[in-house]
């Protein structure tokens, strides 16, 4: 029986929001959980420091093959992070690279996958990376898209947005809970209640409402403004920037919108995103 529960998403799809909710619900404190302590109860697999036990070189010198040789060993290490289930953030697609699965099957208990409208992702991810939106649109359409590979983070294989979604949501795995970012905003009680039920317990209504309130976007943004956020990349002015759904209607050009819909229209329809 595996121990790892993957908290999976394409970047800028609500992964940090989910992690904040889990900390607030499972720790159940009387004040919002510190966003700079999101490793208290969740782990991340792309932290280059975790791989030093297997290769002491600077992580920027690792090839993807090097990382893949170590990945399953690291995943086994992560099972010892906490006594029970271990939540692990990942932006990897659910694929195999260099003949090695990006999620090690025999230590996996399940996964929670968040999908978000790729038109909104393009805007948010461009701000996050500090690059033009057109560059992110190109990245999102690349089946071989890879991020990381520096001294702080090992490689992650995103693939294209469509293939990323298909790799997780298209498997029809009963051990994978699928969430939509937009539903998390529209009906957080139902969406986050499904998360707790998926973990095997009946949600406590008061505790659930408090955890949702404590992990609301405005709360996370206020914490970042007051105390900073250690996960914000240097090139990004703000990690919790907007969080708004449908901003693509105002901020994408017609050509940018058309390109995203041409690249991902079929998968967008399957996920319930109308094409305009």
- What does the pLDDT look like over 205-252, one tens digit per residue? 999 999 999 998 788 788 777 776 655 666 655 565 656 788 999 999
In a domain, 127, yes or no: no
**Residue 269 — pLDDT band, cuts 50, 70, 90?**
very high
Q: Kindly state the average pLDDT of the residues 128-156.
A: 95
In a domain, 158, yes or no: yes
In a domain, 209, yes or no: yes
Question: Above 70 in pLDDT, residue 154?
Answer: yes
Contacts of 76 (CB under 8 A, 6+ apart): 104, 107
- Quickly count: other Cβ atoms within 10 Å of residue 195's Cβ: 20
Residue 209 or 275, more confident? 209
Q: What value does the mean pLDDT of the chain take?
A: 91
Helix, strand, coil % in the chain, rounded to nearest 5 = 45, 15, 40
Structure tokens at 251: 């901020």
Number of H helices, E strands in the chain: 11, 9
Q: What is the pLDDT of residue 41?
A: 85
Q: What is the pLDDT of residue 175?
A: 92
CATH of the domain at 88: 3.40.50.300
In a domain, 75, yes or no: yes
Cβ atoms of residues 166 and 158 within 8 Å: no
In a domain, 34, yes or no: yes
In a domain, 244, yes or no: no
Q: What is the pLDDT of residue 227?
A: 72
Interior angle at CA 141, CA 139 and CA 145, nearest 5: 50
Sign, CA torsion 128/103/93/179:
negative
Structure tokens at 99: 């003949």
Nearest-angstrom CA–CA distance, 137 and 154: 23
Interior angle at CA 263, CA 261 and CA 266, nearest 5: 70
Q: Which domain holds residue 173?
A: 4-117+143-230
Nearest-angstrom CA–CA distance, 64 and 243: 32
In a domain, 237, yes or no: no
Nearest-angstrom CA–CA distance, 116 and 165: 10
In a domain, 261, yes or no: no
Nearest-angstrom CA–CA distance, 137 and 82: 38
Type and span of the H or E element at 90: strand 86-90
Structure tokens at 26: 């499972």
Residue 238 or 20, more confident? 20
Q: Kindly state the average pLDDT of the residues 250-271.
A: 96
Question: Above 60 in pLDDT, residue 257?
Answer: yes
| pTM for the structure as a whole | 0.93
Nearest-angstrom CA–CA distance, 59 and 36: 23
The predicted-structure confidence for 113-125, as pLDDT tens digits, reads as follows 999 999 999 999 9
Q: Which residue has the tokens 């999101």?
A: 38
Number of folded domains in the chain? 1
């Amino acid at each position: 029986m595996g121990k790892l529960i993957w908290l999976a998403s394409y970047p800028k799809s609500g992964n940090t929001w989910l992690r904040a909710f889990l900390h607030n619900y499972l720790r159940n404190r009387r004040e919002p959980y510190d966003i700079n302590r999101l490793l208290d109860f969740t782990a991340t697999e792309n932290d280059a420091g975790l791989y030093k036990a297997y290769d002491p070189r600077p992580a920027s010198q690792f090839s993807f093959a090097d990382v893949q040789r170590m990945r399953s060993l690291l995943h086994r290490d992560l099972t010892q992070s906490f006594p029970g289930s271990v939540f692990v953030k990942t932006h990897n697609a659910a694929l195999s690279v260099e003949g090695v699965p990006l999620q090690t099957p025999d230590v996996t208990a399940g996964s929670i996958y968040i999908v978000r409208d790729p038109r909104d992702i393009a805007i948010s991810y461009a701000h996050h990376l500090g690059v033009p939106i057109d560059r992110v649109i190109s990245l999102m359409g690349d089946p071989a898209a890879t991020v990381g590979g520096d001294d702080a983070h090992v490689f992650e294989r995103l693939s294209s947005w469509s293939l990323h979604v298909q790799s997780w949501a298209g498997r029809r795995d009963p051990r994978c809970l699928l969430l939509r970012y937009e539903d998390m905003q529209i009906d957080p009680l139902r969406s986050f209640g499904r998360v707790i039920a998926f973990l095997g317990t009946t949600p406590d209504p008061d505790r659930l409402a408090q955890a949702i309130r404590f992990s609301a976007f405005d709360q996370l943004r206020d914490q970042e403004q007051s105390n900073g956020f250690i996960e914000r990349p240097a090139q990004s002015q703000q990690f919790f920037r907007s969080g708004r759904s449908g901003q693509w209607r105002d901020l994408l050009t017609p050509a940018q919108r058309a390109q995203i819909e041409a690249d991902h229209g079929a998968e967008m329809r399957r996920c319930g995103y109308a094409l305009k």
